[in-house]
Amino acid sequence: MEYPSFTQKHKSLMRKYLTNDIFKKLKTKITKNGFTIEQAINSGVKNPDSNIGIYAGDKESYKIFSIVFDKVIEEYHDFDKDRKHLSNLNSEDLNTPYLEELDNYIVSTRIRVGRNFDNMPLGPAISKEQRDEIQSIVSNTLSSFEGSLKGKYFSLEGMKEEDRLSLIDDHFLFKAGDSYLEEAGLNRDWPSGRGIFHNNEKTFLVWVNEEDHLRIISMQKGGNIKEVFQRLIVAIQNLEEKIEFSYDEHLGYITSCPTNLGTAMRASVHIKLPKLSLNMKLLEEIANKHYLQIRGINGEHSNSENGIFDISNKRRLGVTEVQCVQDMYDGVIELIKCEKDL
């Protein structure tokens, strides 16, 4: 196995930290699930515009390939590997007052977490049979949910194309054919084993076997962030009663992409900032100050449309769930203030 031929265009954190010497140390290592450094970095090698460029095939990948993962994790999350990860799911600790004015700017709020089964390889190293087993356990578990979380599971295989496309257009379902996931091995056997659960109102959703085994999602129109958080926490707790998820005291919840470790939480708003959109430097300055990431409105690597952005917390590890949401709220308040001043 040769050191990858990186070009000027490769700008990922993986490329920054995977020196030839480190590559030589890692290239003969292999996890119990048969995952290698070559597989871990394939997405970042084949997609030069990757920001991160590396995925884990299992929890063990983070240990065996730690000389590169630790550096990527430290830079992305601003987290030192000797610290312990801490959790706080208590919505009473949130300081996110709901102001009606927020709805003039915030189109919708969405908070999701990633979760992976403790006893299975992560998506990049999973087999078709294991993926199918996860789908079956998750859909059965969700079928017992009651009240406002009651809903139905739809497998991608059985779904009409028009239904699939309309779920994507309405921001409820993941897209197909993402080249980053493709080269990470996450699209193998597509669409088998993938699907989506949602309640009637589509305010509680679970994605099955996309980038992580589960993405647990709470979303609704407008800017009532606490309500979205509270619904999510109840759903997480219900699922954790039935399924054991992969966790590590330093890395928090284990996910296939190192950016999602820790809380595995991304709390986002779709927010109208037409004036700020003409001054991206200022928008980015405020985002950086509050540890926020700016995405387009059709998900990661998409563009903003009509001055509407997806603004979310960037750090997920070494901060609690409450802090993730607080980062997003505090930043959004400052962005709205700035938009009004312009």
Active-site residues, by number, are 112, 211, 215, 257, 259, 266, 295, 300
- Among residues 10, 15, 112, 314, which is the contact residue for ligand ADP, using CB under 6 A? 112
Which CB sits closer to ligand CIR, 133 or 300?
300
- Among residues 43, 108, 304, 313, which is the contact residue for ligand CIR, using CB under 6 A? 43
Which CB sits closer to ligand CIR, 178 or 321?
178
Residue 197 binds which of ligand CIR, ligand ADP, none (CB < 5-8 A, kind-dependent):
none
- The DSSP bridge partners found for residue 150 are none
Asked if 12 is part of the footprint of ligand CIR (rule: CB under 6 A), the reply reads: yes
Contact, 12 vs 52, CB < 8 A?
yes
Residue 299 binds which of ligand ADP, ligand CIR, none (CB < 5-8 A, kind-dependent):
ligand ADP
Contacts with 49 (C-beta within 8 Å, 6 or more apart), sequence order:
9, 11
Contact, 90 vs 322, CB < 8 A?
yes
Question: Closest Cα partner for 299 from 186, 170, 196, 200?
Answer: 170
Site string for ligand CIR, 258-287 (x = CB under 6 A): -x----------------------------
Contact, 21 vs 63, CB < 8 A?
no
Interface segment toward ligand ADP; rule CB under 6 A; list 234-242, 261-269, 284-292, 313-321: 261-269
Asked if 257 is part of the footprint of ligand CIR (rule: CB under 6 A), the reply reads: yes
Q: How far apart are CA 193 and CA 74, in angstroms?
A: 33
* Closest CB 239 distance from ligand CIR, rounded Å: 23
- Among residues 194, 270, 272, 314, which is the contact residue for ligand ADP, using CB under 6 A? 270
- Among residues 39, 50, 304, 320, which is the contact residue for ligand CIR, using CB under 6 A? 50
Which CB sits closer to ligand CIR, 31 or 259?
259
CB atoms within 10 A of CB 277: 16
Question: Closest Cα partner for 186 from 160, 207, 159, 165?
Answer: 207
CB atoms within 10 A of CB 114: 26
Would you call 44 exposed, middle or buried from its count of C-beta atoms within 10 A (0-12, 13-18, 19+)?
buried
Q: How far apart are CA 208 and CA 131, in angstroms?
A: 9
* Closest CB 178 distance from ligand CIR, rounded Å: 9
Residues in 166-225 that interact with ligand ADP by CB under 6 A: 171, 215, 219
Sign of CA dihedral 65, 131, 191, 216: negative
* Closest CB 161 distance from ligand CIR, rounded Å: 26
Would you call 303 exposed, middle or buried from its count of C-beta atoms within 10 A (0-12, 13-18, 19+)?
exposed
Contact, 258 vs 303, CB < 8 A?
no
Asked if 312 is part of the footprint of ligand CIR (rule: CB under 6 A), the reply reads: no
Q: Tell me how many residues contact ligand CIR (CB under 6 A).
A: 10
Catalog residues that contact ligand ADP under the rule CB under 6 A. 108-110, 112, 171, 215, 219, 266, 268-270, 295, 297-300, 310
Catalog residues that contact ligand CIR under the rule CB under 6 A. 12, 43, 50-53, 180, 257, 259, 300
